Amino acid sequence: MSFYSDQKKFFFAVDCVLFSYNDCGLNILLSKRMYEPFKDKWSLVGGFVNENESAEEAAKQVLKSFTANDNIYMEQLYAFTDIGRETTQRTISLTYFALIKIQEYKQPVEKEDCAKWFPIDKLPELIAEHAKILEFAKERIKYRAAKQPLLFELLPDKFTILQLHTLYEKVFNIQFDRRNIDRKLKQSNILVKLPEKDKAGSRRGAFYFKLNEKELNNFNEFGNIVPLKYHLSM
């Protein structure tokens, strides 16, 4: 008799909190459940881990199936193991957060009826623990963004300073002193000014910038703009 024969089996799933950013703010990709339980309710994008793949491989496959992109920034979040989180059979969920430039998002045809971007402040009711997972992801991103140039994963390859200001304000949900941001940016040298301008907002236009990959070690100078508590470990 196998040593494990008396152990009950349960499902192993991955759930992904996929963020994007546009001029209106942060967005989350949600999927409408096409089956019971929770049929026609909204959830984070996810799926089950197959016996021949790791959880990370399963999460990457989920993201690729919803975005047609296999090069998305992704980090593991937390394991959710509550016994009653699913109504049919016990399911363990390993969660991830992911960031995608909205310009690189392409919706596969088979997802057109079940996947939709929602503004982060106008979300429908989410199933099970998904609202809790989302809140956990939002806090994790704040801590990561204080220490590394994580949020640049949400910006286009070239962007204006105003876009950068607005992104940080949306993520941290506070009003920053923009003069302080500009000063920190100059001290850190993490941006390269481009000769091109964005003239969509005014005739004068605003210069585009890009991330200076050679100066990322100086990111701490800029990261100090965020509240002190986010510089602590999480």
Burial class (CB in 10 A: 0-12, 13-18, 19+), 165: middle
Task: Identify the domain containing residue 107 by its residue range.
Answer: 11-145
Considering the domain architecture, whether residues 97 and 164 belong to the same structural domain is answered as no
Mapped to the 3 state alphabet, what secondary structure does 88-133 carry? CCCEEEEEEEEECCHHHCCCCHHHCCCEEEEECCCCCCECCCHHHH
Residue 4 lies inside a defined structural domain of this protein:
no
Mean pLDDT of the 26-31 span: 96
Q: Which residues contact 32 (CB under 8 A, 6 or more apart)?
A: 40, 41, 42, 43, 113, 114, 115, 116
Q: What is the average per-residue pLDDT within 128-152?
A: 94
Inter-CA distances, 200 with 161, 183, 197, 208, Å: 14, 25, 9, 12
Domain assignment of residue 208, yes or no: yes
pLDDT at 88 over 80: no
Res 135 pLDDT > 60: yes
CATH of residue 79's domain is: 3.90.79.10
Angle ∠(109,105,56) on CA atoms, nearest 5: 95
**Contact indicator for 41, 33 with CB cutoff of 8 Å:** yes
CB under 8 Å to 70, separation ≥6 — which residues? 60, 63, 64
Residue 87 has pLDDT above 80, yes or no: no
pLDDT per position as a tens digit, 152-186: 999 999 999 999 999 999 999 999 998 999 999 98
List, in sequence order, every beta strand (DSSP E) within the chain. 11-22, 25-32, 42-48, 73-80, 91-99, 115-119, 191-198, 206-211
Model confidence pLDDT, tens digit, residues 40-60:
899 999 999 999 999 999 999
Number of domains in the chain: 2
Indicate whether 71 belongs to any domain: yes
Of 37-41, 101-105, 191-195, the poorest mean pLDDT is in: 37-41
Domain end, chosen from 111, 145, 179, is at 145
pTM of the model: 0.92
- C-alpha span between 116 and 64 (Å, rounded): 15
* 120 lies in the same domain as 54: yes
pLDDT at 233 over 80: no
Location of structure tokens 């963004």: 145
> What tens digit of pLDDT does each residue of 186-209 get?
889 999 999 999 887 677 889 999
State both tokens at 161: 């300073």
188 and 110 inside one domain:
no
Percent of the chain residues past pLDDT 90, beyond the cut: 69
pLDDT for the residue numbered 35: 79
Residues 90 and 137 in one domain: yes
Better pLDDT: 230 or 60:
60
Mean pLDDT calculated for residue range 80-95: 80
pLDDT of residue 4: 67
Whole-angstrom distance, CA of residue 5 vs CA of residue 127: 33
Task: Provide mean pLDDT across the span 52-77.
Answer: 96
Question: Would you say residue 97 has pLDDT above 90?
Answer: yes
CATH code: domain of residue 164: 1.10.10.10
Contact 96, 16 (CB under 8 A): yes
Q: Which pLDDT score, from 0 to 100, does residue 205 have?
A: 85
In the predicted model, what is the mean pLDDT of residues 109-137? Answer: 92
